[in-house]
Amino acid sequence: MIVTFKSKASGDLIYFKDVALKLLTLMGRDDKIPSALFAEDVATALTQLQQGLTAIAETEREKAAQTEAEAAGTGQSGAGKAYVSLNVRAMPLVEMLQKAQKKQCPVQWE
> For residue range 13-65, what is the model confidence (pLDDT) as tens digits?
999 999 999 999 999 999 999 999 999 999 999 999 999 999 999 998 888 88
Per-residue pLDDT, 102: 98
The per-residue pLDDT for range 7-17, each reduced to its tens digit, is 999 999 999 99
Q: Which helix (H) or strand (E) holds 15?
A: strand 10-16
Task: Quote the pTM value.
Answer: 0.85
Q: What CA–CA distance (Å, rounded) separates 55 from 98?
A: 20
Nearest to 92 by CA among 14, 24, 3, 1: 14
Domain boundaries, given as residue ranges, for the chain:
2-109
